[in-house]
Every structure is written in structure tokens, then in C-alpha cells.
Chain A
Amino acid sequence: MAYVATRGGERAIAQAERLYREDLGPVDRDRVTAIARSLPWLVDRVMGEASLYEPELAALALAQTGGDLYEAVLLLRAWRTTQPRLAIAQPVTQDRLFTLRRISAAFKDIPGGQILGPTLDYSHRILATGVLEDQPLTPAPVQKADHPAPPHHPSLAAWQKAQGLVADPPREEVAPDAIPDLTREPLLFPAPRAHRLQSLARADSGGVLALGYSAMRGYGNAHPTVNELRLAEAELRVRHPRGTVFSAGRVKISQAEVAAKNGGTRIRLGFAATLGWNEVKVISAATLDLNAAGAAKGAPTEEEFFLYHTEPVEASGFCIHFKLPHYVTFQSSLDAMRDAKAGGAATTETGPPAGCSDRSGDSAGASAAAALPDPVEPIRETTE
């Protein structure tokens, strides 16, 4: 039974996982709590990409994977997809958001005011090495404003619509069950707007940044101006089977609206929102949304291109799948390569020509190879 003895797949994978987990050590509730408390922005990023708002589960996923973000997102996605849909929340309009940060680059001041809120935007990025010498980084207390900022703010686009600067299409009434749901339907193109925004909401932050940045640098047709950027909390208003509408809690959300100035007589807007606070992601995603209209096939700003290539679970999974054995496909190509090298077989024979199975690279093979030089451009194969 030598054939079997040389193979040990079952034992190997069990021990490989143990080795990984041993390095991480035991994962307990304290570790999860510490992650949730100390890394809220990371937790937010993971919740956004997982499209699952549950800070404790996101912290657990981070603990369980040791902070491998793609693994953490996959854990949460695989958990979320099996969960039942209990209810569909009512739509949240911008003026109903509990807004903690809201800025516009398009105007010096806007109705409702510019609210800086919590941000590192104007901090000096100096590494606090003192912390390692027992000088903890203790935040200075926040001095409250004389008048607290109002919790709700109008949307700047509402003002722009009233001015006739932004198109104001009539609101479409869609029954909750009829809202397209990317997680339960395939993505097809042209995608319904709901699918595009849902896909961007759960997109890979880094991927969306890379493609959004390419559009910002000049591979897009529109230069974005941040019309309005918000970090907020949205109330989840759900209808009870008895008919009462009640709040099931709040979720942190980010949203960005970016404007193009080159749209003729009107401002064109691009929009993106995601669960959790992640400004880079929503500004990049809104830029892609803004640039999608009329983008050339295959451009980074084309809807199909950016939605397919910023899906974190698909992209990371396919990338790591190249670690899997591919020796059958490799063997299949080697067969054709050796045969071509040995003189080719562009003949009407059905059987292989003499010598094509010769693996030694003899002189006949070498001279045939000289007659047919390796092409400069790789030869296209039809798949794989």
C-alpha cells in the first residue's frame, strides 16, 4: 500500500491548522472585548466589507483570524448568508440621520453648518513612541461648544435640487420585498442601481481606493468634489407584525456624495454609503459611481470592471486559490508544448507523430524549435 502511505492529506491539513491556531493562542471573550474596544475603525471596516453590522461578531472574527482581514470578512459573510431575514427596515433619509460629522468641500458653509466631528484629518502624524516608555497617550478632554450641534442636518443636495442645480427625479416607491438584494440575486449588467450601491457598500476598501484613485488621477471622466461627507448613526425602524413601527437600534454608517462640475448645466452626483465609519471607502466608491456613466468597456470606472474587481471575498479567494495544485492543467499544456517543440503536428494524422513523446530534448527537437521560434506574445488559450 505504498501508494497510500506516501500521501497524508487528512493529517497534514489538521496539523497545519493547529500550527496556525497555536500561534494565535486561546481566543476568549476578553480578547474579543479588547479588540472591539481598542480597534473600532478596524471593526467598522470589517463590518462594512462583511455587510453585517454586529461589532461583537466582527471583533470575534478578527480575534479568530488573528487580524487577517480577508479571512475575517469571509467568516462573517459565511455566517451572515445563513441567517434568516426577520424584517426589512424602513428607508432612512439623510435628514433623519443622527449626524456626528458632516463636511462639504463644495461651499464654505452650508445650511446646517460644517460639523467636523471626530477626525484625525488635522492631526500631526507623529508616532507616539513615548507610549513604549511608559508615557501613555492620554487624550486631552474635549471642550464642549457653547451650543451643541443639532443631531439632524438637511441634505445639501436638497438645497441644490431646490436651486435647480441637481436633477430631482421623482421618488420611486418600492415595496420592501421588491428591493433588489445583491446577496440573494446574481449581479448582472447593467446592474440595477441598488445592486451597484450594495456591491460598493460591501466592497474591499483597498480595492475601491485603488480603482477610485485611478479615476481621481485622470483615468476617469469626472474629477470629484466632496459635495457632502457624513459619519452618522441611522435608526433602524422596523414594522412589528402587529403594525407598530419601532426602533430596533442604531447602526453607524458613512456616506459620501461627490459632485462633477463638468456635467453641463447641472451638477452630477456620485453616491456611496457603507456600514461603519470608513471615509476613504465611501469617497472612492462615490467617485466610481460618479464616473460609471458612459465609461468605456474595460475602463477601471466601468461598472462591470469595478464591481467585479473590488469584491473582497471573491478577489482574495481567487488570489489564494493559486496555491492549490494545478499539475493536471500544467501537464496538459506541457504535452502540447513538447509536441510543438518536437516538430509540431499540423498534419492530418490523427495519431501523434513519431518522437513527440520524446522527453529528452534531442537534436531533432532542438532544430524544430529553431524553425519555430517562441512567439514574443504569449499564445492565447481560451480559458483558465
Chain B
Amino acid sequence: MTALGELTRPWQAMSYGFLDPSAKRELRRAMLKAVAVPGCQIPYASREVPMARGWGTGGLQVTLTLVNPGSVVKVIDQGADDSVNAVSIRQFVEKVTGARGTWDTQEATILQSRHRIPEERLREDQILVLQVPNPEPLRPVQPNMSVARQMHADADYGRLWLVLYEQIVRSGRIMQGASYPAMVNDRHVMTPSPIPRWDLPKLNMARHLTLLSAGREKRIFAVPPFTRVEPLAFADIPFRVEDHASLVCHRSGVTGFFMNEIPQAGGDSRHELSDSHFGIKAIRRAEGEAVEIGATWYRNGAMS
């Protein structure tokens, strides 16, 4: 007779990558569906992970499913690798998968990010995982998810255009800040997660795969490589990124990229590069080190 011990593997405190195989299998299926229908929100069970909901649990589940011991993982929050929650997530991924952490965009195979896309161009062999607080671009016009789902099915986006039009009428311009809604592959409007408008053009016809995962809201969607991502805008009032092109980073002297504004006691502001490791590399190069900086999406402050 078979002993019970022969039917099971030796006991381990945790599965590889924390999630058990059934959770990973479900997530892989959802990811494949998301890639097959770009921009369409695919529901998934979204397991609890040892972090609070809203703190990157959706991105984390995707990263934990994609990762293997050979992966190199970069995690950023607001563009910074050493932001406290980015540190916490990267340490967790390293601990439960044996993958190596990095700050270098060029070196990473998986990049998990909250609110930014790095300034250096991503390649075909890299995957960008964006943490998504709210996957539903229709939420402000339709908070009910069942109804919003129907509106996506009907490609019924008139009320989103109306919101943008309303902003122009009331404020003289489109007031949408981050999370700017975009049409993906001419079919589904998605929120690109709260990345600044500056980063949205980086998703259009990109070489890399972007997976956007909302753990709390249990939805995943994707922008596959070479997919059209077009911000909603009007023919006579085009989409505009933040006016950061002429700002100068006071640490690195670099100009032409998205900046953090640091208010100063005297009443004015200084600026620093939001992509923190890009800034570090620029400083190192200026100090004479041989640092490789990848090609950037923006050149001289304009999308290239």
C-alpha cells in the first residue's frame, strides 16, 4: 500500500515565489487572456499576499508568477528604487524567489512600478508590471462595476469624452493629471494606472510587454508589444504631457525629463529627476565613471 508520505513532496513552509501553483496557474491564464485582448480588464481571484491591499499586491502577484531564479527584478515607487514600499516589495521578491534585485533599468528583466515608467527605453526581453489602484477608467462616470463592464462591451465611452470636454469648458484646458485614459488597439479604453501623462506615450507601439494588475480590485489588463495606445483627445485640442521639458535637475544638471518638485523655504522650488537611478547614473557619468545609460524615450524634452 502507498504510504501517505510517498504521495506528497517534503513539507516546505512556503511554495516557490510564495503563491501556490493553483494561484499561479490562474494568473497565467488571466495574463494570456489579457495579452490576447489588449486593454480589456480580465478578472482574477487575486490571492492575499503578505502585504496590505493597495500596496502593490496586484503587481506583486504578477511578478511572483513571472519570476524565476534567473530573473533580475527592479521595483520602483514614484520612480525611486529606494522608496520605502519599493524596497519592501523588492526584498520580499528576493527572499521568496532567489531572484536578484537591481536598481538598473537596463539590467532588469522584470520591472514592477508604481506611478512611473523609467526614462530609459525598455526592450523586447523586459516586462513592465504596473501596480494599479483602480483598473476602471469609467469609475468616475459609472462607479458600478457591472454597468461599467457592459459599457466596455458596447465600447460606450461617450461619457469619458464628455468629462474631458467639461474640463476644457470649465478650466480652459484638459485637467486630467495622471491616469490619463487611453484607447488601446482601437477597442478598449484603459487607465494606464496613475503614471503621469509624460509616461503615456511610452506605451504606444512599445517593444516591451506591459502588464497592469490591480490586486484589490482583482483585474488584470495588458499592453502587448507593438500595440497602439492613444490618449483620448480632441482633433483641435491635442493631448499634452506635463510641461517638464525645460526643467533642470538640481542634482545632476540633466534636463528634458519628468521631475519631482521640491518646495524650498524661500518660496521657490527646485527640481530633481523623478527616475532616481537614471539620475544616479547621470551623476556618476558626470563624475567620470564609465556608466552605461540606455537610449531614452524622450530626447531634448520631446518624445522621439
Q: Which residues of A contact B (CB under 8 A)?
A: 1-4, 7-10, 12-13, 74-75, 77-78, 80-82, 84, 183-190, 297-298, 304, 308, 313-314, 316-321, 324-337, 339-340, 343-348, 350, 352, 356-357, 359, 372, 375, 379-384
Contact = CB atoms under 8 A, between A and B. Distances in A.
Interface residues of B, number: 97
B26 interface: yes
Given A186-B46, A335-B177, A359-B269, A324 B283 contact: no
A74 to B, nearest CB: 6
A4 B57 CA distance: 27
A243 B201 CA distance: 61
Contact of B194 (A183, A190, A329, A335): A329
A297 B44 CA distance: 23
B84 interface: yes
B218 A298 contact: no
Contact of A382 (B47, B53, B163, B242): B163
Q: Can you list the 9 inter-chain pairs with the closest CB atoms, starting with the nearest?
A: A344-B172, A317-B53, A321-B54, A333-B177, A186-B43, A317-B52, A332-B177, A9-B82, A318-B54
A335 B171 CA distance: 13
B155 interface: no
Contact of B166 (A78, A356, A380): A380
Contact of B19 (A9, A10, A82, A343): A82
A23 B120 CA distance: 44
Contact of B86 (A4, A9, A345): A9
B80 A7 contact: yes
Contact of A328 (B88, B194, B268): B194
A317 B18 contact: no
Interface stretch (B121-129, B136-144, B292-300): B136-144
Contact of A13 (B87, B147, B258): B87
B78 interface: yes
Contacts of A304: 144-146
B216 A384 contact: no
Contacts of A75: 50
**Max chain B Cβ within 10 angstroms of own Cβ: one of A320, A330, A336, A359:** A336
B18 A82 contact: yes
Contacts of B23: 81, 184
A347 B47 CA distance: 47
A10 B83 CA distance: 8
A105 B163 CA distance: 51
B243 A356 contact: yes
A340 B191 contact: no
B201 to A, nearest CB: 13
B173 interface: yes
Interface in B145-169: 145-147, 160, 163-164, 166-168
Interface string B54-91: 11010000000000000000000111101111111001
12 contacts: A77-B48, A81-B20, A81-B48, A183-B45, A186-B218, A314-B53, A325-B83, A327-B78, A331-B261, A339-B173, A381-B140, A381-B177
Contact of B279 (A3, A319, A325, A330): A3
